[in-house]
Chain A
């Protein structure tokens, strides 16, 4: 089955109350569970907030990214779906767009995608 990667980032959970954060957390756990129970789950990775930027030739590193940046990737899910439409339906179950977040869905080039 074709594979898809769903990139998630930019959601701002900082101003939320404990109850709101718990609800958001529950939704992520539910999405995880949904993928696993339906045999779609391949990978789910969350990224720590800071690491390094590396640019240039020769490569030079600097501290980053910073949490304030809205374009920062917070993590991704990799899952299987019959086609892009189905992958999209699945993606819409993910709470990654809560609180200003954005998601990006892309097929991988394994299993026939180009």
Chain B
């Protein structure tokens, strides 16, 4: 059954327990859920799996939590029922996982702590998996989580009814980062993790269905995610090489997702505020509707990047704008835009410059830049592609 994985059960149960026990008991919730899984490992193989795995796990986790509270002499409400049977929200959402999302985006936490906590609590990933994803060591990641949980214990966790705009920004940004983790998962192994993308989409979708979450920027973010994830099946080719946008087989793009994305963008068109998600969605939309890479409306894409550079400035946005200018006006224009940037530790920069140099026929310089990118690339799939391109250019140099 879809969603019947231990990972999903972990996310759901930790959220339900935190709702029931209160957000100051996050660690207790985690421990109780872990104990429930260990019990399942001990009992299910010989006794047989229960028909309702979720219910069995919830019952055991709940019992573990209550036993712990009693042992500690802490007041435990007459809570003999499992958390599925209700529980007052401590915040403003009925949906326990959305409440958890807001908890993980508490302002006392730094952005890197928020994303680590979300991957742990809302995605049920382990420290090893998260560390690989976030390009850090397991022990550093473990410390980050310990710090985050400690900070939450010391903070005022009440969520005001009028949720501050800054919190909304954090939440939407966290979901955007979560989606990006799935889209281009940095851990060595898969470049793509479809499941994380879909989980991010589902969270935004559920958010927009709440009274407070029905806002244009959330709809725009959802539309953006739907449009981008429509391309996931074509991101890697048959040999496991990264397949760039220009080479992807557009017939394999998920048209149903694209339609869903477009419909979602229509709902994002209300209100007066344009968010960065609106602008990024516009770019994704231009790609989605173009019959091929060359025929993309690059003028519109550059205009959108001009907006994005103002709204969400940063080296990657500037880089992507330079690439779009190269497509609109030719590689010479692209190269002169790239020359204005300082990105010497980013492999995308060297890969982009290499591509433009290659188009101008400067094969030895292109090969040099592909090799530079290769040194800096972080996933096996990207490294394969860069090696392939570098070899290709070197062959032309020799001729």
Contact = CB atoms under 8 A, between A and B. Distances in A.
Interface in A38-53: 44-49
B45 A32 contact: yes
B169 to A, nearest CB: 30
A80 B43 CA distance: 23
Nearest to A31: B45
Contacts of B263: none
A72 to B, nearest CB: 12
A19 B125 contact: yes
Interface in A8-51: 13-14, 16-22, 24-25, 28-29, 32, 44-49
B210 interface: no
Interface residues of A, number: 22
A17 B38 contact: no
Nearest to A30: B45
B124 A24 contact: no
B5 A22 contact: yes
Given A44-B46, A45-B46, A18 B41 contact: no
Interface in B28-49: 34, 37-38, 40-46, 49
B128 A25 contact: no
Mostly, the B contact residues are helix
Contacts of B40: 21, 25
B127 interface: yes
Interface stretch (B6-14, B73-81, B240-248): B6-14
Contacts of B128: 17
Nearest to B8: A18
Contacts of A48: 42
A73 to B, nearest CB: 12
Contacts of A74: 42
Interface of A: 13-14, 16-22, 24-25, 28-29, 32, 44-49, 74-75
25 contacts: A14-B38, A16-B126, A17-B7, A17-B124, A17-B128, A17-B129, A18-B6, A18-B10, A19-B7, A19-B124, A19-B126, A20-B126, A21-B6, A22-B5, A22-B6, A24-B41, A25-B6, A25-B40, A25-B44, A28-B41, A29-B45, A32-B45, A49-B42, A74-B42, A75-B46
